[in-house]
Structure formats: structure tokens, C-alpha cells
Structure 1
Amino acid sequence: MRSTGSRYRVFTDEQWARIEPLLPSNQGRRGHPFGEHRRVVEGIAFRYRTGIPWRDLPREQFGPWQTVWKRHRRYAADGTWDRVLTQVLAEADAAGMIDWAVSVDATIARAHQHATNTTRPDQDTGAGANHKELPLTEVEPPGHGIGRSRGGLTTKIHHAVDGRGRPLATIVTGGQRNDGAVLAQVLAEIHVPRPGPGAARTRPEAVIADRAYATGVIRTELRRRRIRAVIPDKKDQIAARQRRGSRGGRPPAFDGQAYRGRNVVERYFALAKQWRGLATRYDKLAIAYRAAVTVCAILTWLRA
């Protein structure tokens, strides 16, 4: 393999050594074997870090851009990056590195015109693609995860991060989708296997969220799953309870000290959006865009 210059590298040698065994190998694969594996994967990450068009990838560093794009499309459709992230999370949890006080929130990414010249139903509310190994037509949402909101055509990234701001789960939807309506799906994406026998961990100790998630449905669901809710009441909810006096009932428990840690999810969004290809969505397919978000999540954990 020709060495990729350090200016173009996204993975360090140590980080690559950890993920290379987790990526699909050539053994037992029909057709043309994967060539210069690291070179192509570096090209995928470099493209999203810089936000350049696929056709503008430096050929001398990454080879033909078509090869890099096809590998990314393949890994996005078959869930490769989700499996890599799952293994990285399992190793982190075994080492006691995950803080299970989970913060949730969503951020908007403007969809570039190159991402929007596709057929879309108006205001599609379907959730974004997930990690299941299904045919492409079954994992790609009808609206490609792009919706029309006040900001125009946008995509929304819903994240759950651990107490230190490192991502555990991701959902991509249209930008008009309500944050609270997607919370159950985001929590369902948390899946951290344990070493040896035993079920994977799927339940955080606490969910820390802002007032957008302050609904009775969400509080009931978290209570059902025995997850502590750290969510402040909305001002109108407080006022309505006060107007009713003793009939208004008790306010929900709220840990103000724990809520101070909610900003870790905002800090992670600021970090992820340093990748220009995530801050602005150029991908037509939601699965391709979400796969790039997952690559960024993997790197965040490897750097930890």
C-alpha cells in the first residue's frame, strides 16, 4: 500500500490497527478483492472532514474516487460502520469508560442543493436509516431524511451521548421532526454488548434532556424502563400546575446538579460539525450521511 501523506490522514496508525480487523476482509468474497483498504477508508473520512465533492478526492492519495464512493455506499448499506462502533463501545464499557448518565438532543444540518435533487414526499416524518442488515430499499427512508422547516430543506441528527459527551446512538430524520417524538427510537439504538455471556446493555441510568422532551408520554416511558429522567418542566406546565393549586399535583423530580452536565451533547455537536461534510449535508441518501456520522463517532471513541 502506498503511504497516505499525514496531511490527508484522519486515522492514526494506532486507531487503524484497532478497526482494521473489524472491517470486511477479502476472504470468501466474490468479485474483485478490496485493494489498499486503509487508503480507501481514509478517503471516506477525508471527504467528510473537508466537505469536498467525491470527484475532487486527490487521486494520488486515495485512488479513483469511484472506488472510495462505492466502498462507502457498501459499508453504509450493510451496516459495517455500526458493527465497528458496537465493538468499540463494547471494549470501552468493559474498561469502565462509559458514563451511563446519557444526554440526548438534536442538531440541524442544512441540506445542500446536491442532496435535494431527489423525489421526496412532502413533510415525510419517517425516521432515518438504522443499522439493521436489510436491502437498501428497506433501510432508506422515503424522504431520504430531508424535511422542510423554517430553515428550508434540512436534516436533523438525533444523538444520545454518554456523560462525557461521546456518542452512543444516532438517528437521522427530516429537519422538521420533533425531538421528543424520536427519543424512543434513539434510546432503542443504544446497544452495547458485554464481554462473555449476558445480555447487551441497552438501558442508561439517567436521561438528561432539555424542555423539548418534557412531556408526560416521555416521562412515563422512562419510568416504565426504570430510567431516571432529568428533564426540567416547561414554563407553561409549571404555570398550569400553580393555577390548579393543590389539584395540580406534585411537580416531577428534577436534579438540577445532574442537569448541568447536559451541555456535553452540545459540545459533541460542535466537535462533529468541524467535519464540513456533516455540518452541511451533501449526500442524497440518508444511509450514506448517517454512516459518515457514525465514522465520526468511532473516531471520537478511538481518541478517548
Structure 2
Amino acid sequence: MSTGSRYRVFTDEQWARIESSLPTNQGLRGLLFEEPRRVVEGIAYRYRTGIPWRDLPREQFAPWQTVWKWHRRYAADGTWDRMLAQVLVEADAAGMINWAVSVDATITRPHRHAANTTRPDQDTGAGANYKKQPLDKVEPPGHGIGRSRGGLTTKIHQVEGGRGRPPTPVITGGQRNDGAVLDQVLSEIRVPRVGAGRPRARPEAVIADRAYATGVIRTELRRRRIRVVIPEKRDQIATRTRRGRRGGRPPAFDEEAYRGRNVVERYFALTKQWRGLATRYHKLAITYRAAVTLCAILTWLRT
């Protein structure tokens, strides 16, 4: 590979671990290339630097049209998700996944090029399952852009699955309530096992801030036999105290476990070091989500 070290994101060892996850290019006219690594490195370089696709150095990577088309294809056919799943299998077998997961969301601002889309006035939806579905069913309504207090925003909902390294994200409009999307976020946890057995999809505990402190969420997590580590809201405490004995007991809260919640915040800080993720330049939520997934893949590979 001729790409200089300045432009490289993956080491040779990291690339060897994910190369088998890439689909073959047989039968795809106009999208053939000789070195898949040059394309993947170009995708990662573009998001790390935040440059326009047309400004990708052609002498270091493939033509920008090829890089963009393959990223779009990988986003639609679930290639990035399968690649992350493969990395998670290895991590789980090595005991590196912490199944007491931290959940949170972060806001990003779309660039004017991304916000120039038609958006419904109401709920922009909780995203969709992007894996192996036709293109007309993978893009959420409103393209995952909504109007919140900060204007037009996109929200990344994320579960931290061990040492600041996450499973797949969920993209919604910025006005979506964090707790309303929790079920969708937890449904994205799916780690295949080495050998026989169903993929693991149920964490041992969910650690979250007060945005998730509702009775519905607590009841649902307990029903699924998931330990709840969520502090009460101040108004909930005041209401329970005011009712006296009729207010019931306070919900169990593990303060020591809650101290580890900030790992998801640290991961968001790491993700936004990629300038192409700190600001959303894509109109399509599917391609933006794919870039967030690529960042998660690289984070796990650096373990």
C-alpha cells in the first residue's frame, strides 16, 4: 500500500483483523478497485479531517467518487455493522466487554449542506434498523435532523460496552427525548458468541443519568432482569417525600457503580475529535451513522 503514514488510520495488524469482513466487488461495474484498504483509509481520513470528499488526495487514496460510493454501499448493506460485530466477538471472547453498560446521548450540529432537506414538523423518529434492508426503508423520517433549543440538531444515542468502546449507535433528531429511545438503543446490543449459542443481547445493568429516570423505564428494565443504576430526579424525590409513608420506598441505587457512567461521556469526547463527526455534513442519516460506526470499529481495534 502506497498510502503514507500521515494519511493512514489503520495499522497492518488492525487491517488484517477486519479485511475479511469486506464484501467482494465482483459484478459491480464502475465500482471496482484494486486495493480495498485505500478506499477504507480514504473514508476514515475524510471523517477524521472533515474535508470535502472532492478534496481527498487522489495520489494517496482512490478517486473520491469511488471512496464515496463504497462508503454509501457499505452503509446500506450493513458492512460496517458486520465488521463491528466481528470485532465485538473477539472482544467478548477476551473478556473485554463490560456488560454493565452506560447509556447517554450527545448533540451534533448539521452543516447547512446537511440541513437542506425536507423535514416533518413532528417527531423525526427513533431511527431504523439499517441492517440488510432496502434503501427506502433504512432512512429515518426527517433524516435524523430535528429542531431543538439549539436549532437544527442531530442526536447520537450510544451504549458504552467496555472501557469507552461502544456497540452500534442510533441516530435521531436532536429534539428526541433520551429515555424514549432507550429501547431502540438497547436493541442494537447484539454480540455473537464464539461457537454455538444465541448472540448476547441483554446487559447485566444499565447505568444512566436522570434523563432516563422514569417509572416506565425502571419497570421495563426490571422485567428484562436488568439491574437499574439510575438516580432519582429531584422532583420525584420531593413528591415521594411529601406523600410520606404513601410515597413508598426510594428505588435502589448503586452509587459506586454510577461513578463509572462517565465512560460514555469520554467516548463522545473521543468521537468528536473526528471533525467529520463533530459536525454533520451528510443529508442522509444512514451515511452519518455508518461513519460513527467506523469510529467505533477503530476504537475497538486500538485495544
TM-score by length of structure 1 reads: 0.97
**Count of residue pairs brought into register by the alignment:** 302
**Maintained 8 Å contact 1:129/1:287:** no
2:176 corresponds to which letter in structure 1?
R
* CA apart distance, 1:95: 1.2
| Alignment-derived partner of residue 296 in structure 1 | 295
Q: Distance in 2 between matches of 1:134 and 1:241?
A: 46
CA contact (8 A) 1:128 1:287 kept: no
Residues of 2 paired with 1:297 and 1:51: CA distance? 17
SS at match of 1:207: strand
In the other structure, the counterpart of 1:246 is: 245
**What do the CA deviations read for 1:219-262 (whole angstroms, capped 9, x no partner)?**
01100100000000000000000000000001000000000000
Tell me the equivalent position of 1:45: 44
Alignment check: 8 A CA contact 1:169 1:187 kept? no
Deviates more, 1:209-218 or 1:30-39: 30-39
What is the 5 A alignment of 1:88-237? 88-237=87-236
Question: In structure 1, what residue type is equivalent to 2:279?
Answer: T
Pairs within 5 Å for 1:9-28 = 9-27=8-26
CA shift, 1:63, in A, is: 2.5
1:163–1:261 Cα contact (<8 Å) kept: no
| Alpha-carbon shift at residue 30 of structure 1 (Å) | 4.2
How many angstroms apart in 2 are the aligned matches of 1:46 and 1:183?
31
Q: Secondary structure at the match of 2:60?
A: helix
Q: Which residue of 2 aligns with 1:287?
A: 286
SS at match of 2:194: coil
Give the ranges of 4+ consecutive aligned residues of structure 1 lying more than 3 Å apart after TM superposition. none
Partner residue of 2:66? 67
Q: Counterpart amino acid of 2:29?
A: G
Tell me the equivalent position of 1:31: 29
* Letter of the structure 2 residue corresponding to residue 237 of structure 1: Q
Q: How far is 1:117 from its partner? A: 1.1
Aligned counterpart, 2:266: 267
Which deviations, in whole Å up to 9, do the C-alpha atoms of 1:30-53 show, x marking residues without a partner?
435333210011000000000111
Tell me the alpha carbon deviations over residues 1-34 of structure 1, each in whole angstroms, 9 at most, x when there is no partner.
Answer: x51011111111111111111111235x343533
Judge conservation of contact 1:123–1:148 (CA < 8 Å) in 2. no
Moved more, 238-247 or 6-15: 6-15
Amino acid at match of 1:4: T
Q: CA deviation at 1:163?
A: 3.9
Paired residue type of 1:262: R
Deviations 1:185-225 (A, max 9, x none): 00000000001111110011100000000000000110010
Q: Return the alpha-carbon distance in structure 2 between the equivalents of residues 22 and 53 of structure 1.
A: 27
User: Deviation of residue 143 (structure 1)?
Assistant: 0.4
Question: Partner of 2:232: helix, strand, or coil?
Answer: coil
Contact 2:128-2:138 at 8 Å conserved across structures: yes
Equivalent position amino acid for 1:125 in 2: T
State the secondary structure of the residue aligned to 2:169: strand
The alignment-based identity, stated in percent, is: 81
Does the aligned pair in 2 maintain the 1:129–1:286 contact within 8 Å? no
What's the Cα RMSD here? 1.1
